[in-house]
A and B are shown apart, each in its own frame.
Chain A
Amino acid sequence: MTATLTLRDDLGSIGARTGFTRNNYKITPGLYCLGDAGKNSPVLVTANYKLSFDALRKELMGQNLWILVVDTRGINVWCAAGKGTFSAEEIAYQVQRAQLDQIVSHRELLLPQLSANGVAAHELKKLCGFRGRFGPILAADIPEFLRTGETSETMRTVTFSLRERAVLVPLEVCMTLKHLFVAAVVFFVLSGISPDFFSLGLALNRGTVLLLATLMAIFAGAAATPLLLPWLPFRQFWLKGAVVGAIAALLLFAGLPLTSSIEKIAIFLWVSGSSAFLAMNFTGSTPFTSLSGVAKEMRPGLAFQISSTVLAILFWVAGPFM
């Protein structure tokens, strides 16, 4: 293998980042040799999600080392560790399968720090004879870690920069767009209900308005909220999303041909409620939200989302009758 990524790797990354190929973006588990690795070369352990593997090898240009890829079913290091697939048992299994003890003369495995929630490093030695040692969080810090043998406080601290949030946005948006076709059908049916039972004209006009409002809600909750995250008020994600959604709805009123105030209320409730829901779902993509915290914010969050959606539907359907 090489440390250079080809066009095909880059295209694959786009596929995974947008969700098209994400659930089956794997490489074969086992031992990989980079450069001219020998008996004394270090052994790095990683997951078999191809994005993880590519992120690792592209930082290792010019290095001679071994990469032991464990089977995490195509899931990244941190999530796989959380789910128990990136574990001491799995690492020990791959060490034995690759007969690593005959390939290298040392007895040390370098583990990604973010595998620590799944790997008990002190158990590795008992299981396979190799000692586990945690390296830095980011692959980019590995060359320095290999050079100095140490990790700094910064290397051990997880970050969530604008850039790190931005790469998550395409997936957040694409996962939502998948459901949009079904939603659009529902929008047109709801929008066409009129005093004369059903009006195709109303369905098309009002349905389009509702669809545009929904696209705005997706932009607010799945793109703007993640990007603006640290600067938005409140700590609960659904509240952050509701605020951005409310602003988005007000902006929409400037551009949409909405005349009746009942329709405006419906759109306002729908956009802020949907944005709040999408923002709440983003908790799963961040590196700082606790499960207890998410469970806590979901009670008021879901209550708000469900009630605003129900009211939005009632007001929207009532529009042509007023």
Chain B
Amino acid sequence: MQGFRYLDDTAILRLSVEKCIGCGNCLLVCPHRIFQVQDGKAEIVDRNACMECGACAKNCPTAAIYVNPDDGCGCAAYIINSWITKIRGKAASGCSC
């Protein structure tokens, strides 16, 4: 993903070292390769590359990882629709992706 960086210090991603058992699932599934496992524990090596896809959290057997749980796909149309929903109190059509 060289050449593509999004906003720094924005993504919500937390890793609990106590809960981590070092299985390496997060390292395996991350599409931006931001984890590494060292001495039996996972660590985040490139936090700002996180896009909050949630693959690591979903595949963590001990729920040691927390990612921004709002669903959606980092998509402006989706956010606008959810704002409209809040204002109108009706279900949004969502984005088309």
Cβ distance B8 to chain A, nearest Cβ, rounded Å: 8
* B31, A23: Cβ atoms closer than 8 Å: no
Quick check: is B77 within 8 A (CB to CB) of the other chain?
yes
Measured CB to CB, the nearest residue on chain B to A285 is B97
- Chain A contacts with B in 62-95, Cβ cutoff 8 A: 75, 78-79, 81-84
Q: Which of A28-36, A267-275, A293-301 contacts B (4 or more CB under 8 A)?
A: A293-301
Quick check: is A13 within 8 A (CB to CB) of the other chain?
no
Quick check: is B37 within 8 A (CB to CB) of the other chain?
no
Quick check: is A254 within 8 A (CB to CB) of the other chain?
no
- Chain A contacts with B in 85-133, Cβ cutoff 8 A: 113-114, 116-122
> Which residues of A are in contact with B by a Cβ distance under 8 Å?
22-23, 75, 78-79, 81-84, 113-114, 116-122, 134, 137, 153, 156-160, 175, 229-230, 235-236, 280-281, 283-298, 301
User: With A23-B96, A116-B55, A120-B59 in contact, is A291–B74 under 8 Å at CB?
Assistant: yes
The 8 Å CB contact of B73, one of A79, A230, A292, A298, is A79
Cβ distance B24 to chain A, nearest Cβ, rounded Å: 12
Complex CA gap A207/B72 in Å reads 38
Cβ distance A98 to chain B, nearest Cβ, rounded Å: 24
* B4, A290: Cβ atoms closer than 8 Å: no
Complex CA gap A118/B57 in Å reads 10
Q: How many pairs of residues, A versus B, come closer than 8 Å at their CB atoms?
A: 134
* B7, A297: Cβ atoms closer than 8 Å: yes
Measured CB to CB, the nearest residue on chain B to A280 is B76
Provide the residues of chain A in CB contact with B96, threshold 8 Å: 22-23, 175
User: With A134-B28, A156-B33, A160-B1 in contact, is A288–B51 under 8 Å at CB?
Assistant: yes
* A283, B29: Cβ atoms closer than 8 Å: no
Measured CB to CB, the nearest residue on chain A to B12 is A292
The 8 A-B residue pairs with the shortest CB-CB distance in the complex, in nearest-first order: A284-B75, A116-B55, A116-B29, A230-B3, A158-B31, A117-B55, A290-B52, A293-B7
* A298, B79: Cβ atoms closer than 8 Å: yes
Provide the residues of chain A in CB contact with B77, threshold 8 Å: 281, 284
Provide the residues of chain B in CB contact with A79, threshold 8 Å: 73, 97
Provide the residues of chain B in CB contact with A236, threshold 8 Å: 7
* A296, B59: Cβ atoms closer than 8 Å: no
Complex CA gap A83/B94 in Å reads 11
Provide the residues of chain A in CB contact with B25, threshold 8 Å: 121-122
User: With A158-B1, A292-B11 in contact, is A82–B50 under 8 Å at CB?
Assistant: no
Provide the residues of chain A in CB contact with B28, threshold 8 Å: 134, 156
* A113, B29: Cβ atoms closer than 8 Å: yes
User: With A134-B28, A235-B6, A293-B6 in contact, is A283–B76 under 8 Å at CB?
Assistant: yes
Cβ distance A201 to chain B, nearest Cβ, rounded Å: 38
Complex CA gap A41/B95 in Å reads 38
One digit per residue, 1 when the CB lies within 8 angstroms of any chain A CB and 0 when it does not, for chain B 53-77 equals: 1110011010000001011111111
Quick check: is B32 within 8 A (CB to CB) of the other chain?
yes
Provide the residues of chain B in CB contact with A117, threshold 8 Å: 29, 53-55, 58
Measured CB to CB, the nearest residue on chain A to B78 is A284
* B74, A293: Cβ atoms closer than 8 Å: yes
* A290, B68: Cβ atoms closer than 8 Å: yes
Measured CB to CB, the nearest residue on chain B to A113 is B29
